[in-house]
Structure 1
Amino acid sequence: MIDRHVFDPAILREYDVRGTVGRNLGPADGYAVGRGFATRVLAAGGRTIAVGRDGRLTSPELERALVAGLTDSGADVVRIGVGPTPMLYFAEATLDVDAGVQVTGSHNPPADNGFKLVFRHRSFFGDDVQDLARLAASGAWRAGSGRVEDVDVMADYVARLRAGHRGGAYRIGWDCGNGAAGPVVERLTQDLPGEHHLLYTDVDGRFPHHHPDPTEEANLADLQRLVRDKRLDFGIAFDGDGDRIGAVDGEGRVLWGDQLLALIMAPVLAACPGATVVADVKSSQYLFDRIAALGGRAVMGSTGHSLMKEAMIAHDAPIAGELSGHIFFRHGWYGCDDAIYAAVQLIGALHDAGVSLTEAHAAMPQLVNTPDVRIPVDPTRKWAVVDEVRGRLEARGAEPTAIDGVRVATEDGWWLLRASNTQDMLTLRAEAADRAGLDRLLAEVDGELAASGVVRN
């Protein structure tokens, strides 16, 4: 037992607590997170906290430390075991609990891990995460002796996922990347119509086949091969904790998160005419145009799962999504990002439209864009560079969108420069109608970066 604790500031992220185990994150941090979070929950009149974990090799030890901290501050704990982060969100929404914590490193490298927190169906982030550090440094934790109960929610979660299937029988490849979604997908596909071919559903925190991050096309190579070799209709992939979705069509071509949202939102807007759809600032202009074409109201939001959830509530949006593959559902679901539920909804959207994913993909405009380009930067300069770029643009009479970084529209298309909330990086994205236009956009960005002493490799 410890009386107080000082966190490495680097692990206190905007959306969660996350670091590299053995370098700046360990069991003492997990214990302190538990003490602080329980203190906050109890002070607000709550008491019971659901706890889940992903399949990383360090997750059992961190979970034990977390539970010890929660109970030593007087909170009762409901342990739901290994599963995807959306299963923890499901437990927090449906069990008689007040809050939840998932031990997970999400899509990060195998040595990374951390804690995602939710309190009364809202993300616990930003200043709340910093408050955990203040409580730890002062030792101002509540003391008590909470109880621990083990509850298996996976069967109920899978049944609820299955209930969201509206129709459609396809030949689908599923790549779980040895992440925490594997056992859920195994159970789900046993009950879904169609033909299902599964890759890497056994949970293995070493991630022996490929890294579980579907935002990197290299990680989709095995799924692309499976779809092509077996001539499947399409393929679906998940990240390490099952809250990001990736997909490839029947020809193995990748669809990114904004393209998937463009398909999945159609039935939602049909059921909720005129509703708002929130998409992050990195998303294609095609998505915003498509929202309007379907009669919806498009709102551009800041990137980040906690910020997107808050934007959904603020705008009363039934659905939202990010380029990164986080798709959030309030209509028919629990107001959270759930990649497995998104997969079920994708099947339904294709069924409703009467088209294959390959056909739907081909009907989208063939724009030319960059991936999410990451540019290393001195952490003390990260935010300042973005402010400098914005200042120069405005001094020249430009009117950039400044929701999250700087998004600039030109005749060629648009470009975005923002500071990463999770890494010492600037992130860049640009989109144009053709390669020549994209080159002009990137040259403009490079000029702005150079003016602030930054070089894009």
Structure 2
Amino acid sequence: MSIPQPLISHALFRAYDVRGVYADNLTEHSVRLIGQAIGSQLRDRGEQTVVVGRDGRLSSPALAQAAIEGLMAAGCHVTDVGLVPTPVLYFAVQSGLAPHGVMITGSHNPPDQNGIKIVINGECQYNERIQRLYERIMRGELWHQPAAGRVQTANILNAYQHTVCQQIHLQRRLRIGLDCGNGATALLAEQLFRDLGCEVYPLFCEVDGNFPNHSPDPTQPANLQALQTLVRAQALDIGMAFDGDGDRLIAVDGNGHILWPDRILILLAQAVLPQQPGRMVAYDVKCTYRLDQAIRDAGGVPSMCISGHSLLKKHMREHNAVLGGEFSGHIVLRDRGMEYDDGMYIAARLLEVLAQETAAPAQIFARIPEGCSTPEHKVYFASYEAAGEAMALWMQHQQLQAQRLITLDGMRAEYADGWGLARASNTSPTLTLRFEADTPERLEAIRALFRADIQRLQLTPEALPF
């Protein structure tokens, strides 16, 4: 006797979005059901207008069509904005095109993966709100009013570009490298930054869902090598790299040195807080310990928060924070009314700050103290559950000898001259770790404490990446 298959895989419903492998657990059928569940949730509230966008992945057109069909089956009115970066979908919602949005995107993940980011009343959905969609599908609580549904198309790209160019003015011409990584920002980034007055040197600015040049994740240093080479070869002021759907930014200075987002946050805080004294600046647990004092020195109030772009934005709204960001590259700057994480917009705001001085960006960033730090290390597990269980076991039995242990999101062990972090990722079946210290010797000593703990508890049979 065959075992009945579930309507839809529960594994799709993650902490910040829906995510899966195309044609495996993420199919047109499953996305149609999710679209219908989102539409049913809206119809329960007496609402029915929603905007739908998609990134440049090969599976995105079919999945976007399935989402639209599901929304229409519930009787929703859909505005299809087509291929756009995720922040342009957010812009469409904030601009009033519709109060709700559905974005088909695999973000920074490999080409065979895809997903859905969901915006309800301008707020990205997360945790239990996403789980409720799964529960609704499994209970069969779905509206069936296809005759009431309709779809129209709209071009929102020009309005987005116009808004950014109206907001941002560079006092001098900067020579910049742009690495769109064949992601959705390739649609408009090159022209946008030319319109802002930059001399642009483009890399991989053609949308290609195969991502033939490098993975669409600029937080991995290997994926920045082409940009670093370009910046040095052309003696550019700065290089900017975006992830696959454009909501993350990583930069490199004119020497090719990586400017991690926590250092970008410090510079933006120093620029913004004099006009916004006493406002909160939020940052996630993966950011440098130097942020706290830098924010205070600039006249702001620092606030550490849980990692996750949806949770960051929620924290910022609740506390009226003017600026917030994650080490992963999600940055939100709200002083001019933009309420969402947008790699291109933040890149433009960063250029605006840098253009106010005649000094090279590398010299400007050199004023910001920098210790010894690592990128994120990832320890892979067979499943999200296995990674979570390993993290829980470690937290229960850790011997990290920390002066202060922060358990807001995983474990951040702080010492007099550095810190180490371990947490279970919500976007991959991994434990992610990061370290920072004042000297290379102390950095290695802190890493050694974490290594010893992992080996003592036998958390993984795999070789550690640090």
Asked if 1:164 is matched to 2:167, the reply is yes
Looking at structure 1, the residues matched to 356 and 42 of structure 2 have their Cα atoms a distance apart, in angstroms, of 43
Question: Alpha carbons of 1:376 and 1:209: their partners in 2 closer, same or farther (altered >3 Å)?
Answer: closer
Larger CA deviation: 53-62 vs 284-293: 284-293
Give RMSD over aligned pairs.
1.9
- Which of 411, 418, 439 is 2:444 aligned to? 439
| Corresponding residue of 2:75 | 74
What CA distance in whole angstroms lies between the structure 1 residues aligned with 2:9 and 2:261? 33
Distance 2:264 2:46 in 1: 40
Task: Go from structure 1 to structure 2 and tell me whether the alpha carbon gap of 1:266 and 1:74 turns closer, same or farther (over 3 Å shift).
Answer: same
Taking the aligned partners of 1:395 and 1:182, their CA distance within structure 2 comes to 44
Give, as a single letter, the amino acid of the residue that structure 2 aligns with 1:122.
Answer: E
> Residues 325 and 13 of structure 1: is their aligned pair in 2 closer, same or farther, counting only changes over 3 Å?
same
Q: For residue 323 of structure 1, what is the aligned residue in structure 2? A: 327
Q: Deviations over 1:76-101 (max 9, x none)?
A: 10000101000000001113412001
Question: Which shows bigger deviation, 353-362 or 64-73?
Answer: 353-362
- 1:141 is aligned to 142
Residues 199-278 of structure 1 correspond to what in structure 2 (within 5 A)? 199-278=203-282
2:95 aligned residue: 94
Contact kept, 8 Å, 1:164 with 1:341, in 2: the verdict is no
1:65 equivalent in structure 2: 66
Cα shift at 1:396: 7.6
Q: Secondary structure at the match of 1:336?
A: coil
**Contact 1:393–1:400 (CA<8 Å) still a contact in 2?**
no
Is the CA contact 1:264–1:342 (under 8 Å) kept in the aligned structure 2?
A: no
What SS does the corresponding residue of 1:371 show, helix, strand or coil? Answer: coil
CA contact (8 A) 1:276 1:298 kept: yes
Partner of 1:403: 408
Q: Which amino acid aligns with 1:153?
A: I
CA distance in 2, matches of 1:5, 1:316: 42
Count how many residue pairs are aligned between Structure 1 and Structure 2: 454
Paired with 2:351 and 2:80, the residues of 1 have a C-alpha distance of 32
SS in 2 for 1:314: helix
Give per-residue Cα distances to partners, 1:325-376, cap 9 Å, x unaligned.
1101222133110000001100111123553211122223231112111112
Q: Distance in 2 between matches of 1:377 and 1:208?
A: 27
| Counterparts of 1:301 and 1:204, CA distance in 2 | 35
Aligned counterpart, 1:310: 314
State yes or no: 1:191 paired with 2:206: no
Q: Secondary structure at the match of 2:116?
A: strand
Change (3 A) 1:193 1:69: same
In the TM superposition, what whole-angstrom CA distance separates every residue of 1:267-309 from its partner, at most 9, and x where no partner exists? Answer: 2212211110000000011222211111111100111111101
Paired with 1:10 and 1:329, the residues of 2 have a C-alpha distance of 33
Q: What residue identity is the alignment partner of 2:318?
A: A
C-alpha separation between the residues in 1 aligned to 2:401 and 2:369? 32
SS for the counterpart of 2:25 is coil
Bigger CA drift: 321-330 or 346-355?
346-355
Residue segments in structure 1 that go unaligned for 5+ positions in a row: none
Cα distance in 2 for residues equivalent to 1:242 and 1:326: 9
Q: Give the Cα–Cα distance (whole angstroms) in 1 for the partners of residues 46 and 212 of structure 2.
A: 44
Partner of residue 158, structure 2: 155
Contact 2:85 2:247 in 1 (8 A): yes
Relative to structure 1, is the Cα distance of residues 7 and 337 closer, same or farther in structure 2, using a 3 angstrom cutoff?
same
Aligned pairs for 1:358-373 (under 5 A) are 358-373=362-377
Distance 1:137 1:124 in 2: 19
Mapped partners of 2:344, 2:290: distance in 1: 24
Q: Tell me, in whole angstroms, the C-alpha distance in 1 between the residues paired with 2:117 and 2:239.
A: 28
TM superposition score normalised by structure 1: 0.95
CA deviation map 1:376-434 (0-9, x unaligned): 23544433433344344599896411111111111331111111112221111111111
- Structure 1 Cα separation of the partners of residues 402 and 329 of structure 2: 34
- Aligned pair in 2 of structure 1 residues 208, 393: CA closer, same or farther (>3 Å)? closer
Write the deviation string for residues 184-212 of structure 1: whole angstroms up to 9, x where unpaired: 21331231113111122211111122222
How far apart in 2 are the matches of 1:330 and 1:192?
20
Q: Distance in 2 between matches of 1:91 and 1:77?
A: 13
Q: Quick one: distance in 2 between partners of 1:265 and 1:349?
A: 11
Give the equivalent residue in structure 1 for 2:420. Answer: 415
Answer whether contact 2:400 2:449 (CA < 8 A) is retained.
no
Q: 1:282 aligns with which of 259, 281, 286?
A: 286
TM-superposed deviation, 1:164: 2.2
Q: Deviations over 1:152-201 (max 9, x none)?
A: 01000001111221323201111111110012213312311131111222
In 2: Cα distance, 1:421 partner to 1:132 partner: 18
Alpha-carbon distance in structure 1 between the residues aligned to 2:192 and 2:63: 28
Counterparts of 1:360 and 1:45, CA distance in 2: 52
> What is aligned with 2:132?
131
TM-score normalised per structure 2: 0.93
Distance 1:20 1:140, change over 3 A: same
Contact 1:284 1:431 in 2 (8 A): yes
- Aligned amino acid, residue 360 of structure 1: I
Q: Which runs of 5+ in 2 are unaligned?
A: none
Q: Assess if the C-alpha contact under 8 Å between 2:400 and 2:413 holds in 1.
A: no
CA change 1:232–1:320 in 2 (3 A) is same
> Are residues 282 and 214 of structure 1, via their aligned partners in 2, closer, same or farther at CA, if it must alter by over 3 Å?
same
Letter of the aligned partner of 2:162 in structure 1?
A
Could you say if the C-alpha distance between residues 321 and 395 of structure 1 is closer, same or farther in structure 2, counting changes exceeding 3 Å? closer
Cα offset for 1:245? 0.5
Alignment of 1:47 with 2:43, yes or no, is: no
